[in-house]
Structure 1
Amino acid sequence: MKIESLLSAGYIALNLELETKSQVIDAMLSIVAGHPGVKDAARLRTDVLRREQEMSTGIGKNIALPHAKTPAVTQPVLALATLKRDLNFDAIDNEPVRIVFMLATPETMLAEHLKLLGRITRLAGRSDFRDRLIAEVSPDGVLALFREEEKDFPQI
């Protein structure tokens, strides 16, 4: 399972104009609400917010990764957004966020969940990749970027 195989243009939003962490999470939840893998959007919201309360998912290097293992989804669900402006997300490195991934996986897919989190942080942790992602102007361009970057990665 590669990131580009989980993403599609409908789950990518670019240059969002948001001002707060809660607005970002709400926007990401709205993006995935119609995903065929989401069977309970209210439960997904609860589980993502619960995880965020445990510890911020601002993982550093201008990236936030709200996520949950939850019975609210039947398959891995992934969305991506870039933000027009830097936003405080209570990140572990105290740096603002510009790139947001939201990942939800079924509770039974713990290994896949961890591997996907790892792959996202590995790719997005590279400054050249982040710069190219933030500069992208179309969802198709984002998908092409992931396809190119993951071409030599093994399936998860």
Structure 2
Amino acid sequence: MKIESLLSAGCIALDLELETKNQVIDKMLSIVSGHAGIRDALRLRDDVLRREQEMSTGIGKKIALPHAKTPAVSQPVLALATLKQELNFDSIDNEPVRIIFLLATPETMLAEHLKLLGRITRLAGRADFRERLIASKSPSEVLDLFREEEKDFPQI
């Protein structure tokens, strides 16, 4: 399972203009609202927000990764957004974010959940990748970027 195989053009939003962490999370949830893997959108929202309250998912390097292991989904659900302006996300490095990934996986997929979090962190942790992601002008360009970067990665 590669990121580019989980991510679809409909779950990518570029250059969003949002002002708060809650707006970002709500927007990310609305982006995936029509995903076939979502069983219960309200439960998904509650689980993502609960996880965020435990500890910020602003992981540093201008990236936020709200996520949840939840019975609200039947398969992994992934969305990506970039922001027009940096936004405070209570990140661990105290820096604002520009790139947001939303990941939700079934509770039974703990190993895959952790591997996907690791793969996202590994890719997005590279400055050149983040720059190219922020500069992307279309969802297809984002998907091409992931396809190119993951071509030598093993399946999860």
Common topology (TM > 0.5)? yes
Task: Give the superposition deviation at 1:18.
Answer: 0.2
Instruction: Specify the SS of the correspondent of 1:109.
Output: helix
Q: What is the distance in 1 between the residues matched to 2:68 and 2:24?
A: 16
Task: Give the superposition deviation at 1:136.
Answer: 0.2
Give the superposed CA RMSD.
0.2
Deviations 1:2-36 (A, max 9, x none): 00000010000000000000000000000011100
* Counterpart in the other structure of 1:35: 35
> What are the ranges of 5 or more consecutive residues in structure 2 without an aligned counterpart?
none
Deviations 1:98-151 (A, max 9, x none): 000000000000000000000000000000000000000000000000000000
* Counterpart in the other structure of 1:126: 126
Listed as ranges, the matches of 1:69-148 within 5 Å are 69-148=69-148
Q: What is the distance in 2 between the residues matched to 1:46 and 1:34?
A: 17
Q: What is the distance in 2 between the residues matched to 1:33 and 1:69?
A: 17
* Counterpart in the other structure of 2:154: 154
**TM-score under structure 1 length normalisation:** 1.00
Task: Give the superposition deviation at 1:69.
Answer: 0.1
* Counterpart in the other structure of 1:13: 13
Instruction: Specify the SS of the correspondent of 1:152.
Output: coil
Number of aligned pairs?
156
Q: What is the distance in 2 between the residues matched to 1:154 and 1:138?
A: 26
2:103 partner amino acid: L
* Percent identity (aligned): 85
Q: What is the distance in 2 between the residues matched to 1:139 and 1:10?
A: 8
> What are the ranges of 5 or more consecutive residues in structure 1 without an aligned counterpart?
none
**TM-score under structure 2 length normalisation:** 1.00
